[in-house]
């Protein structure tokens, strides 16, 4: 049973890694949107390095008490329309 859970977690992490790529410019705008919506997030919570999107999604999911899927959806929505002020 433990092997199934571990495998499912591994596959989910792979899916998230391939699900989004964020440029530093996009992240600066999305970060401002996240900060407005979740004002309790610290600079460490919002720290981002290109290529480590999966770590960002996992960290934000824990801090906003939502699923990684929700954070991924929210990021995609925020990046899709950078001019819009809403997240």
Give the pLDDT confidence of 12-54 residue by residue, as tens digits. 555 445 578 999 999 999 999 999 999 999 999 999 999 999 9
The residue to which tokens 């859970």 are assigned: 5
For residue 2, what pLDDT is reported? 62
For the entire predicted model, the pTM comes to: 0.73
Report the interhelical angle of 2-19 vs 53-64 (nearest 10°): 110
Alpha helices in the chain (DSSP H): 2-19, 24-37, 53-64, 68-80
Query: Residue 64 class from Cβ within 10 Å (0-12 exposed, 13-18 middle, 19+ buried)?
Result: middle
Residue 16: what pLDDT? 47
pLDDT at 81: 80
Kindly report the average pLDDT of the chain as a whole number: 84
């Amino acid at each position: 049973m433990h092997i199934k859970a571990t495998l499912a977690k591994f596959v989910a992490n792979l899916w998230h890694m391939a699900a989004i790529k964020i440029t530093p410019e996009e992240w600066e705008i999305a970060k401002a949107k996240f900060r407005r919506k979740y004002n309790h997030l610290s600079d460490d919570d919002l720290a981002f390095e290109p290529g480590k999107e999966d770590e960002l999604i996992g960290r934000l999911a824990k801090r906003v008490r939502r699923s990684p899927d929700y954070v991924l959806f929210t990021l995609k929505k925020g990046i899709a329309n950078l001019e819009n002020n809403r997240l």
